[in-house]
């Protein structure tokens, strides 16, 4: 399945109210009708928070909410973008001069990421123009990957207009890379599940090389996706990239202390792989090597034997160069323990013990506690949602505990 290209199908627009409304709005906006439609779903990550960019497997599933784009190729070389949401203003640019402003993560820049990714993959200097009307029903900045779904959708739109073919894996890898044009140092989970998801199953997403394995969830379980309504735009703040850089620095310090070629190491998974030890052993190595107190940039430099200038220009991303403290111990502890929880979750699903729902719930509870305390990527509203879910879960028959999804954070 992953080696195949995205599925195509004929749709009777008149039979689908959303498509029909989009077609009518497209005609009103551009004075013509779309030639085709492209869809990419959002996702919810069941377990494996903030570890994809550290090289570790994650366990998401796609959701029904999606990005839908109506498209008409045009003979001009102008790219015209519009959105059904009036909060998002129209945008127009030359298809051959794509500029993405990292300082302003406006909605159209995510489309441009996908567009540019396909353009650069094929080495094309001249592209045809197109009119596009975007309709999304994924809550923005809610932790359900609305931005990545738009990048994926745009990549698929561009591929279709060009008449080119790529596998789902190739598309996912291109879109994961191209979303970094907007300044976020993501790991690829969001784009991978958007392309590789299948109905009726979650997926274990593994990297290097990218692959997806079905994970059958318990038939008696219901997964509730609750939106805390606290918005967090990854590209609009430095919070996300700071965590990425903290993990990178932790990997380099661990590698240095264990006698590895630290300057070549970027991800925590690489340290484990080079040492040839288990995740449990990596947790102990982290405990023995890193201290819980935050590291200053100066201390990091002393540990690595480099200058402050080298740290800022060769290791840190542009929007993390002025960070004053880095919590390396906490971030590494979260990553290694979360990576272990992902594997435990998959194992429980495969073995299907009688109390599997309770066991899975306990892992999700541990995941949230680690996100809250060690990775600090939760917020009071999400914590309250989790407490409410867990309280009412425990009031039931006692056969399950509810986990959570970090909406908005």
Active site members: 190
Gap between the Cα atoms of 105 and 186, Å rounded: 15
- 221 φ/ψ angles, rounded to the nearest 5 degrees: -100, 145
**SS3 sequence of the chain:** CCCCCCCCCCCCHHHCHHHHHHHHHHHHHHCCCCCEEEEEEEEEEEECCCCHHHCCCEEEEEEEEEEEEEEEEECCCEEEEEECCCCCCCEEEECCCCCCCCCCCCHHHHHHHHHHHHHHHCCCCCCCEEEEEEEECCCCCCCCCHHHHHHHHHHHHHHHHHCCCCCHHHHHHHHHHHHHHHCCCCCCHHHHHHHHCCCCCEEEEECCCCEEEEECCCCCCCCCCCCCCCCCCCCCCCHHHHHHHHHHHHHHHHHHHCCCCHHHCCCHHHHHHHHCCCHHHHHHHHHHHCCCCCECHHHHHHHHCCCHHHHHHHHCCHHHCCCCCECHHHHHHHHHHHHHHHHHHHHHHHHCCCCHHHHHHHHHHHHHHHHHHCCCCCCHHHHHHHHHHHHHHHHCCCCCCCCCCCCCC
Centroid of chain to Cα 203? 14
End-to-end CA distance of the chain: 32
Is residue 303 within 8 A of residue 253, CB to CB? The reply is: yes
Is residue 269 within 8 A of residue 56, CB to CB? The reply is: yes
Task: Please count the residues of the chain.
Answer: 409
């Amino acid at each position: 399945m992953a080696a195949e290209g995205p599925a195509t199908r004929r749709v009777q627009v008149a039979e689908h109210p959303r498509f029909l409304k989009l077609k009518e709005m497209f005609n009103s906006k551009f004075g013509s009708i779309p030639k085709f439609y492209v869809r990419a779903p959002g996702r919810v990550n069941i377990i494996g928070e903030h570890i994809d960019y550290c090289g570790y497997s994650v366990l998401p599933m796609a959701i029904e909410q999606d990005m839908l784009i109506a498209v008409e190729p045009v003979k001009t070389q102008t790219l015209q973008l519009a959105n059904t949401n009036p909060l998002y203003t129209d945008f127009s640019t030359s298809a051959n001069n794509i500029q993405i402003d990292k300082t302003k993560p406006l909605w159209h820049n995510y489309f441009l990421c996908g567009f540019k990714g396909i353009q650069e993959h094929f080495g094309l200097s001249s592209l045809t123009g197109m009119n596009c009307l975007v309709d999304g029903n994924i809550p923005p900045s809610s932790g359900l990957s609305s931005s990545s779904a738009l990048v994926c959708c745009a990549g698929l739109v561009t591929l279709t207009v060009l008449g080119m073919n790529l596998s789902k894996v190739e598309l996912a890898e291109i879109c994961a890379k191209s979303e970094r044009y907007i300044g976020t140092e993501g790991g690829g989970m969001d784009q991978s599940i958007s392309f590789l998801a299948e109905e009726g199953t979650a997926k274990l997403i593994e990297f290097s090389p990218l692959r997806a394995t079905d994970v059958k969830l318990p038939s008696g379980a219901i997964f509730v996706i609750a939106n805390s309504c606290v918005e967090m735009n990854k590209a609009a703040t430095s919070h996300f990239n700071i965590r990425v850089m903290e993990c990178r620095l932790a990997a380099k310090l661990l590698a240095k202390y264990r006698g590895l070629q630290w300057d070549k190491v970027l991800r925590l998974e690489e340290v484990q792989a080079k040492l040839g030890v288990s995740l449990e052993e990596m947790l102990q190595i982290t405990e023995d090597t890193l201290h819980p107190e935050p590291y200053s940039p100066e201390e990091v430099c002393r540990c690595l034997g480099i200058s402050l200038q080298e740290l800022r220009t060769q290791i840190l991303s542009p929007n993390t160069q002025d960070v004053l403290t880095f919590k390396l111990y906490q971030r590494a502890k979260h990553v290694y323990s979360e990576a272990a929880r992902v594997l435990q979750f998959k194992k429980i699903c495969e073995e299907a013990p009688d109390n599997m729902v309770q066991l899975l719930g306990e892992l999700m509870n541990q995941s949230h506690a680690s996100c809250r305390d060690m990775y600090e990527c939760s917020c009071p509203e999400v914590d309250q949602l989790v407490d409410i879910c867990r309280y009412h879960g425990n009031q039931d028959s006692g056969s399950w505990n509810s986990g959570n999804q970090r909406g908005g954070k």
